[in-house]
Structure 1
């Protein structure tokens, strides 16, 4: 999305143009299509409006179950889990993302699989499982390379891998100091 200006090197979360995000939210609020629901989840999430994001994410999951495709449902579940992650429900988010990853890999849906790996890596990173985060980010990188992602996307994933390696190294060093 064009709103992303970068990623915080410590939290790995998006740095966004908040004004542009608010403007876009005003523009699409009230739209009920599935894509607009997912976009609203993301917009509310990056603004830190997690209650609103969770409510719309739950609605998007219901909408996808009733009238969407399996891919739609998987995408909605990934977004729902990403909101739970930011709400601090790490175990719930990781479990949901793990089932999403399993289905995406079973169906060979690389794009959704990469998204789910990225989000699960961030959950693990925040939960202090830096080895698990590193593994997820590496798998994300592999899937994105397979799909022919642009250099900027691949570089960002490499930054996530480096952040997890750095944290893992600092934790390991701290154990023996």
Structure 2
């Protein structure tokens, strides 16, 4: 079930039904499986509970390192970096996402590479580097198209490219 109802056109953050997310968080409870931990991180993040999300994301990375696959670890690290981004730790998030994208691309895991690049684009977007954001969003779009993802994921990437273009135009008019 998807809890995402759309994306904020200014921040590119997920728009969710907070009640549904809180209910799901209660349902998951204190489960410690990797999928449950990752879902808890995401739910806490979209609910704005960033300190809680950070703690659980660090735990999910440890669990993935010990008991998951390499793909699991990359997904956990990308989610952790997205929490850091929302906390404003752009340099930390950018470095982690760059490393994850490079590893995923090196392994031929285009879906995971696209996921990392989409999030790194959001880091650049939040930091005001709209050219770099657009470049990452475009690369994520090509990788997602190549891996045959659902239209909704393509749409979110197309929306991000458009938002970066609009911000670039506003920035050039203002200067």
Partners of 1:37 and 1:90 in 2: how far apart?
23
Residue in structure 1 matched with residue 7 of structure 2 by the alignment? 7
Residue segments in structure 1 that go unaligned for 5+ positions in a row:
none
Q: What aligned pairs does 1:86-165 form with structure 2 within 5 A after superposition?
A: 86-165=86-165
Aligned residue number for residue 52 of structure 1? 52
Q: Normalised by the size of structure 2, how large is the TM-score?
A: 0.97
Cα shift at 1:153: 2.1
Matched with 1:26 is: 26
Q: 1:71: Cα distance to partner?
A: 0.8
Shift of 1:60: 0.5
**TM-score, normalised via structure 1 length:** 0.96
Q: CA RMSD in A?
A: 0.9
Partner of 1:80: 80
Greater alpha carbon shift after TM alignment, 163-172 vs 37-46: 163-172
Q: Indicate the SS of the match to 1:72.
A: helix
Q: Which runs of 5+ in 2 are unaligned?
A: none
Structure 2: distance between partners of 1:68 and 1:55? 19
What secondary structure sits across from 2:6 in the alignment?
strand
CA distance in 1 between partners of 2:137 and 2:101 (Å): 13
Query: What is the rounded CA distance, in whole Å, between the counterparts of 1:71 and 1:155 in structure 2?
Result: 24
**Partners of 1:155 and 1:63 in 2: CA distance:** 32
